[in-house]
A and B are shown apart, each in its own frame.
Chain A
Amino acid sequence: MSSSITGVSAADTAPHGEDPKSALEGDRASTGRLGDRLFGGAATGAGLTVIALVVLIGVFLLSQAIPSLMKNEVNFLTSREWVPSGDHPRFGIALMAWTTVISSILAMLIAVPLGVGVALFITQYAPPWLSRPAATIIDLLAAVPSIVYGLWGLQIAGRYFNPVGNFVTDHLGWLPLFKAGGTPQNTIAFISLVLAIMILPIVTALSREVFAQTPGPHKEGALALGATKWEMIRTAVLPFGKPGVISAAMLALGRALGETVAVMILLSALAPGSPWSWSIFNGGETFASKIASAAAEFDSPQKTGAYIAAGLVLFILTFIVNAIARIVIERRKAFSE
């Protein structure tokens, strides 16, 4: 792997003008000692295990899902019905896909700018006595289990969100996106907010790490050329940290897409046959929450298969998101070299 999660790639750290690979690997001369070989083998094994695991999960999902998909009588990708049992199963993921994607995107729209802002504050603005405790507190947010966020949203935060939600639907309700639907605290808008809080520490922690690694000379150079502090951040810190921030955002997006319990508790399911709505002030179910709430009643392989097919879509969705992130990072590297 040439790029790490922090976005600092071998190319960044290697001395300029040399082939980065040779700088890291030397002349490939191995001592040939036991420890060397053991460690090499263990590292390779670990890498292979992860790949094998992902492939096996994919194969498992596929093998369970295919028999149900064959029997499905409507288009799996575009139908909004969900009747996975019986002799005439009709199930499609359109609603779930919409809810999952829109809630995650909204959460990202809130959490990424906020997280980057917090990270910049901690690394560039805050005095040392403040930056450390602030960072620790943000990290603590990541340790809170999602059920706690769910209960917090249900019991406490929700009732403060209701007036806000009602205000938005009253004044912007003419936009399809903000059309009034259910009680605001039971809607996609509210879970997006809760999801944003849940993924904030991921974005913040990773962004902070990269920003802190901005080479001093870059910053000093910018300042020496007469840049203000903000200009220095814009020209030195942000470009350096960009791939790291993208990695952080994608990792966070992965969590938002797959979040289960909090969504299940907070979000109202729609009644079957409800008309399609683009509104974020509407209920719905995400892939993960739908599967989790139905898991107790998996009584036939066909039904289980239908839900697993939905899980497969989530799996692929996450895969695509990560692939896009990887491409973005690689492209940025190509420009900088």
Chain B
Amino acid sequence: MKIQRMSQVAALALVGSLSLAACGSDSNSTSDSSSGSASGSSSASGSESAAGGGEDCGKVAIKAEGSSAQKNAIEEAISSYGDKCADAQVDYNPTGSGAGIKQFIAGQVDFAGSDSALKTEPKDGKIEADEAKKFCGSEAWNIPMVTGPIAIAYNVKGVDKLVLTPEVAAKIFKGQITKWNDPAIAKINSGATLPASDIKVFFRSDESGTTENFTNYLNKAASAVWTDEKSKSWKGKGEGKEKSAGVAEATKSTDGGITYVELSYAKDNGLAMAQIDNGGGAVELTSESVGKAVAGAKQTGEGNNLALKLDYTTKEAGTYPILLVTYEIVCSKGKDAEKQAAIKAFLKHFASDDVQKGLEEIGYAPLPDEVKTKVNTAIDAIS
């Protein structure tokens, strides 16, 4: 009797876990197929399509590691690259920018993905750029590939349009402005009916590059209010939630909530996004306004080294200032010609119009044309 009951329970549990597992594999299909199609189909139809792809396809497998901010973008690119070039294989391991650069310098991976360009000042007695140069035997180039805008998303009933200046945003996230109808907010939002409710700030409780870039912006653009240097862990006020999904969900379910989150999460959760007024008028977050910020960035590298310095305090009209640019870090002249050709082919694909356009759907912004031209020139010069 007892055994029978146990088996009923077990059967139910089994059914339950099976159906859950089914859901699980479904949602992961994009990442699965990216590596699967790259490696799996090579045996089946590899030879013809590789011949069709010609010199656009790499002949050897390449490995890359680094920033998790560009994970979705590069997986998308790898997936479509795999469709085009069945023989070519690219593996990307999103362990974080620092880890990626470390592995690249140690020669463990073929290129690195990073949220910041190779540092040219010494840190712990070592200069990243020089270390990379030593490993490559030539200069290492930072090639900007993916730009990720960060939205200030909010949920206030009856407020569809909200303008924030860096100072006001910093004060909100520092807990110095606590009501939505605070005079400071009302002043820059004339015409909007702001409720007297509390502002509920949500921040990322886990360490994240998004927090780092957002605090960097606040620190640069509103240095009087936000005195903390950029950091991966939050230094302001509010309630902490787990990952981007957590802050977006919390903001969505809390009237009066506000958070900073990648564009895709704000969009998917249907959250309103604040317009940013750096001094040159309110700017909405769009591909164009983000592209303009990338185009307006100063190139700090020489020649084909496209390290960029974003101007967070820009007053240029129509430029959305809160974003991060992620780079692919490559050897300009590698020791292994086949590998270099494969890297070149993949990056070429990554920078192509189709792929860049597709990134918009998953919450990134495509590279603006001026930058894309430079990127293509740099990729062509890789040998």
Report A's interface with B, CB cutoff 8 A. 83, 132, 136, 139-140, 143-145, 154, 158-159, 182-183, 186, 264-265, 268-272, 274, 283, 285, 293-294, 296-297, 299
Contact = CB atoms under 8 A, between A and B. Distances in A.
Interface stretch (B8-16, B129-137, B279-287, B325-333): B8-16
Contacts of B203: 269, 271
A269 B254 contact: no
Given A136-B8, A294-B206, 18 more contacts: A136-B9, A140-B9, A140-B12, A143-B16, A145-B20, A159-B253, A186-B250, A268-B205, A269-B205, A270-B240, A271-B238, A272-B234, A272-B235, A283-B239, A283-B240, A285-B205, A294-B207, A296-B206
Contacts of B242: 264-265, 293
Contacts of A139: 9
Contacts of B246: 265
Contacts of B16: 143-144
Contacts of A158: 253
Counting chain B CB atoms within 10 Å of each CB, which of A154, A271, A272, A294 scores highest? A271
Contacts of A269: 203, 205, 239-241
Contacts of A285: 205, 240
Interface string B281-314: 0000000000000000000000000000000000
Contacts of B12: 140, 143
Interface of B: 5, 8-9, 12-13, 16-17, 20, 96, 98-99, 175, 200, 202-203, 205-208, 232-242, 246, 249-250, 253-254
Given A159-B253, A265-B242, A297 B232 contact: yes
A242 B222 CA distance: 62
Nearest to A296: B206
A182 B203 CA distance: 13
A239 to B, nearest CB: 26
Contacts of A143: 9, 12-13, 16
Contact of B5 (A136, A183, A264, A270): A136
Nearest to A147: B20
A293 B205 contact: yes
Counting chain A CB atoms within 10 Å of each CB, which of B5, B17, B206, B236 scores highest? B206
A269 to B, nearest CB: 3
Contacts of A136: 5, 8-9
B205 A132 contact: no
A154 to B, nearest CB: 7
A312 B276 CA distance: 46
Contacts of A83: 233
A83 B207 CA distance: 11
Contacts of A283: 239-240
B5 A132 contact: yes
Contacts of A140: 9, 12-13
Nearest to B206: A293
Contacts of A299: 96, 98-99
B96 A297 contact: yes
A159 B234 CA distance: 27
A186 B20 CA distance: 26
22 contacts: A83-B233, A139-B9, A140-B9, A143-B12, A143-B13, A183-B200, A264-B242, A265-B242, A265-B246, A268-B202, A268-B240, A269-B239, A271-B237, A271-B238, A272-B235, A274-B237, A285-B205, A293-B242, A294-B206, A297-B96, A297-B207, A299-B99
B211 to A, nearest CB: 11
B239 A186 contact: yes
A198 B185 CA distance: 44
Contacts of B206: 293-294, 296-297
Contact of B249 (A154, A293, A294, A297): A154
The 5 closest A-B pairs by CB, nearest first: A269-B240, A268-B239, A269-B205, A297-B207, A143-B13
Given A136-B8, A265-B242, A271-B234, A183 B98 contact: no
Nearest to A133: B5
A261 to B, nearest CB: 9
Contacts of A159: 253
